Structures are given as structure tokens and as C-alpha cells.
Chain A
Amino acid sequence: MIQVQNIYKSFSGRTVLRDVSLDIQEGSTQAIIGQSGSGKSVLMKHLIGLLRPDQGRVLVDDVDIGTIDYQQLRKVRRQFGVLFQGGALFDSMDAFENIAFPLRTFTTKTDEEVRHEVQKCLDLVRLSNIGTKKTDELSGGMRKRVALARAIALRPRYIIYDEPTSGLDPETSNTINDLIKGLAHQLEITSIVVTHDMHSVLQIADRVAFIHNTRMHWNGTVDELHESSDQILRAFVKANEYIIAPRYSSNNQESSEVTQ
């Protein structure tokens, strides 16, 4: 379980997070939503200790990751897989090597076992025959899927998605959403999705946390989100509606095609 307790964070005197608290339950899919620049990605970086809060605590399985030393922090981080916004694939390696990298670095698997594991990861993200492609030869959607395959290579307990659908066309976004949902189910993984895409949220999340003006403005389930009368939250959701309506209807159709 991940617990964020009353954290504050400022950069050069500008407050980005103010008294933010959040509990992320084991096995759930938690969405963190908010406008661009609202501090979502900053909160995400706190979860794996890439940033340390000015005040407050982040607990991963009751361990305060702000107070442990670097070696212990690295052990905590190995329980996480992270899909960065642009994929963050290592461009000095091809797609296969990117996925194999954590396996070669952190396990004692033989080359044959690594190849087998990489293939399993590629199957999970529904990609094939792209192993030897250089990262700059991959499309945006493929990059995200290779990055996702790399993130799940060590079978983490938690996976963090930073804007998983940004910059993707609606069809590819639906495929990624479908993958996130499928992986959470197949690998019994706790997922944290940082996004401003309400279409994704409605499709994949169990719980939603809304950050507004540096504060945790609203936190609840997707059903509670639908029923909420909070004006600011409704305004944020409504701003997405014109996108959600056509895509949500097409998504149902595409999801069934993918399943087939």
C-alpha cells in the first residue's frame, strides 16, 4: 500500500503541492487527474522518491521513503514499474535490448531465459517482430508499448503510468487503455495513472484523485465521480466531455474487436 501524507513541495519559491494526502490501495487502479501543470507528475515522482517532499511523508508498505538511505530506496523502487510520458526508451539500444535491460541488470537469467521473458512481455503488450527495431523507428503507440513491456519485465507490484495516452490518436489511446486494464487484471498489479484524459479515467480507474490549485481537491471512486456535485470537478470533467462522448462510444466497439 502507498500512503501520501500531507506533502508540500515548492520549486524556487513556487508551491506545486500543498498538503496533499492520498492512500493507494493494493490491487486497485488509482487515477490522479488535474489540469496540465497542476502538480500531478510532481506527485508521481514523489511516489518513487525521485523527488522528496519539503514536508510530509510518502509511505510504501509502511516505509517512509523520504528517510531511508539511497540503497534502501533503490530496493523500494524495484517494486515499481514506470511508464514515462514519452516512453523514456534508451535510444542507444533497440527495442529488444530496452526490455531485456532490467532483466540483465537485476536478474541472473541466461540469454535464452532473457529472450523468453522479453517475448512474454511483448506478448503481454501485444507486440511482435519489433525486437531489433531501433527506438526511433517506432511509432508513438509502439514506443509506449515497448516502454510498458520494459516496465513490467521484472513483474513489479506497482506500476505508474505518466500520461499514458498523451500524444496518441484515439484508436491507439484505446489500445493503451485496454492494455492497462488487462495488465492490472492479469498481473494483479496496483496501477497509478497520472492523466488529464477523462476518457482513460472512466475506462480504467477504480478510484480518482483530483488535484486542483496545488491541493488534493477531490478523492473518490468512479461512481462517486459521476454523482459528485463539486463544481470545480464537474467543470474539469465537462471540459473533457466533448472528447469523451464520441471516443467512448467508438471504444466499446474497438475493445470488443481487440478481444476477438
Chain B
Amino acid sequence: MPPIVLRITQPFFDIGRFTMLMSSAFMSLREMGTYWQNFQIQLVRIGIDSIPIVALAAAFSGAVTTVQTAYQLVSPLIPPRIIGAVVVPSLTMELGAVVTGFILSGRVGARIAAELGTMRVTEQIDALEAMGLNSIGYLIVPRVLAGIVMLPVLYVAACLVGIVGGIVAAELTGVVSTGEFIQGAREHWNFFGPYFGLIKAFVFGFLITAVSCYIGYYTKGGADGVGRSTTRAAVMSCVLILVADLILAILLL
């Protein structure tokens, strides 16, 4: 087939193969007992180990959003407590999930692709299959499930830390007191915000881990192939987060 045709058909090929991989992963769920220990390891690697960097990013996002919101609300007609009413929904509806998603694209997506890619090129995946083990069930199911479970948990942590970051920034810069910030947030509190954010986190968790697993699992070539897979996984995860963010906003708002 000519190279140009291959380039055009490649995305369709990838979508088809990704769908087949995910259906195989879904079918492997019944063997979850065999992969339980691996699932627990992935919960720690994807979730617990990501808490420090997610908390750091969330704290700064909350702080920056607070300072910038205060800068924009300069009118004496707008009470300062509105800052809390703007920052908290921003975090719960958008920043908490998206920042967590971007951090995990780099940290977890790249790691998964590198790990599975190396296993592929060093024949470790073939060794699992040759033993009679279901490599998709053993390698992919625990990672995707851990992503789906831990992204919402990290999202909640990111929102809490982001709000604290916002309050600290508000206090340090003197734009609004802690009491007013909380009062503003409570007055305009809407449960749809965290509900929407949790759905996003769930979807991002699936996209980051599933796409990175797919790219890593089908890595070709040696060290160069692993390098390409790692970069592709991080970039693809970020792009898919942006696209999914827009689609969810259109569908749910």
C-alpha cells in the first residue's frame, strides 16, 4: 500500500485496534481475581504516588485563580466574597479535573507507555503469553481500572488543596479574608460542580490509562520505539483530555 494511503488509514486502523483491545480487556474482567495484586500495585503507583505533584499543581492553580479573579473584580460594587464564589466552582468544574488530567498524562501516561513498550520490545509480553497468561488482563486491566478509580480520588484531593491554596493566597495578598472567601463559596455552592468534575475525572482516568496502554502494548522497534511511544502517549493523552473536556461541557451543561 502506498505510504500516503497508509497515513490516511492509520487513524481508522488505530481506532479499530484500540476498540478490540478494550473489548479484550473488558472480557478479561472476569479473571480479576488473578490480577488483584497487580491492581493494588497500580492503585499506589497511579494514585498515591501522584498525590504530591497533583497537590502542588492544584495549590498553585487555586492561588493563581484567586489572585487573578481579585485583579479582575476591581469594582467597588462587587463584594470581595465573590472571589470565593468564582474560585471554588472554577476548581470543581474545570481546573481540578483538567490539571489532574494533565499532570497524570505526563506522569502516568508516559510511564505506562514506557513500561509496556519496554516489555514488548524485550519480549516480556510474549513471555507472559507463552506461559498461558492473558497479557491484556494482567497488564492493561489493572492499569485502566486503577486510572478510573484513582483519578476521581485525585480530583477531590486537587479541589480541596486548590481551595486551601486559594484561601492562603487571598490571606497573604489581602484581597479577601478567609471568612469572606468561604462565605462567598457557600452562598453560591452548587452540587453540580463536583458532580460534573467527577464525571470528567472518571473519563480522563480512562482515556489516559487506556490510550497509554494501547500505545505501549503495540510498541515496535527498540529504544527508539519506546521513546516514540512514551512521547506519543503523553501528547495523545493531553489532546484527548482537551477534546473530552469540550465534548463533556457541550453534553452536560
Chain A interfacial positions (CB closer than 8 Å to B): 45, 48, 50, 70, 74-78, 80, 82, 84-86, 88-91, 102, 105-106, 154
- Chain-A contact segment, one of B83-91, B124-132, B156-164, B184-192: B124-132
A25 to B3, CA, bound (A): 45
1/0 contact trace for B97-129 toward A, CB 8 Å? 000000000000000000000110011101101
From A76, A84, A154, B127 is in contact (CB under 8 Å) with A84
Residues of B within 8 A of A (CB): 34, 118-119, 122-124, 126-127, 129-134
A48 to B127 CA separation, bound complex (whole angstroms): 11
Expressed in whole angstroms, the Cα–Cα distance for A91 and B134 within the complex equals 18
Contact (A90, B129) CB under 8 Å given A74-B134, A105-B34: no
B129: contacting residue among A77, A102, A105, CB under 8 A: A77
Q: Quick one: closest B residue to A13, CB to CB? A: B1
Q: How distant is B5 from chain A, measured CB to nearest CB, in Å?
A: 13
Taking CB atoms, residues of chain A closer than 8 Å to B127 are 82, 84, 88, 90
Which residues of chain B have C-beta atoms less than 8 A from A74's C-beta? 132-134
The answer to whether B123 touches A77 (Cβ under 8 A) is no
| Chain B residue, CB-CB nearest to A147 | B127
Set of chain B residues within 8 Å of A84, measured between Cβ atoms: 123, 126-127, 130
Number of A-B contacts (CB under 8 A): 49
What would be 29 A-B contacts, judged by CB atoms less than 8 Å apart?
A45-B126, A48-B129, A48-B130, A70-B134, A74-B133, A74-B134, A76-B132, A77-B129, A77-B130, A77-B131, A77-B132, A78-B131, A80-B130, A82-B126, A82-B127, A84-B130, A86-B122, A86-B123, A88-B123, A89-B124, A90-B119, A90-B124, A90-B127, A91-B118, A102-B131, A105-B34, A105-B133, A106-B131, A106-B132
Contacting residue for A88 out of B122, B132, B133, CB 8 A: B122
- Docked complex Cα distance between A85 and B127 (Å): 11
Given the known interface contacts A50-B129, A77-B129, A105-B34, the answer about A88 and B134 at a Cβ–Cβ threshold of 8 Å is: no
Across the interface, which residues of B come within 8 angstroms of A70, CB to CB? 134
* Chain A residue, CB-CB nearest to B124: A88
| Given contacts A50-B129, A77-B129, A105-B34, A85 and B134 within 8 Å (CB-CB) | no
Contact B124 A91 (CB under 8 A): yes
| Residue numbers in A under 8 Å from B132 (CB-CB) | 74-78, 106
17 more CB-based (< 8 A) A-B contacts, given A45-B126, A84-B126: A48-B129, A48-B130, A74-B132, A74-B134, A77-B130, A77-B132, A82-B127, A82-B130, A86-B123, A88-B126, A88-B127, A90-B119, A90-B127, A91-B122, A91-B124, A105-B131, A105-B133
Residues of chain A within 8 A of B129, CB atoms compared: 48, 50, 77
The 7 closest A-B pairs by CB, nearest first: A78-B132, A88-B127, A77-B132, A88-B123, A82-B130, A74-B132, A84-B123
Contact A85 B133 (CB under 8 A): no
A102 nearest in chain B by CB position: B131
Q: Which residue of B lies closest to A74 (CB)?
A: B132
B127 closest partner in A (C-beta): A88
Which residue on A lies nearest to B133, using beta carbons?
A: A105
Chain B residues with Cβ below 8 Å from A50 are 126, 129-130
| Assembly CA distance A75 to B132 (angstroms) | 6
Separation of A70 and B129 alpha carbons in the complex (Å): 11
CB-CB under 8 A from B124, the residues of chain A are 88-91
**How far, in Å, is A197 (CB) from chain B's closest CB?**
19
Q: Chain A residues with Cβ under 8 A from B134's Cβ?
A: 70, 74
What CA separation (Å) do A106 and B131 show in the bound complex?
A: 9
CB nearest to B41 among chain A residues: A92
In the assembly, what is the distance between CA of A77 and CA of B134, in Å?
A: 11
Residues of B within 8 A of A86 (CB): 122-123
**Which residue of the partner chain, among A85, A105, A106, contacts B123 with CB atoms under 8 Å?**
A85
Please measure, in the bound complex, the distance between the C-alpha atom of A78 and the C-alpha atom of B130, giving whole angstroms.
8
Look across to chain B and name the residue whose beta carbon is closest to the beta carbon of A160.
Answer: B130
Residues of A within 8 A of B133 (CB): 74, 105
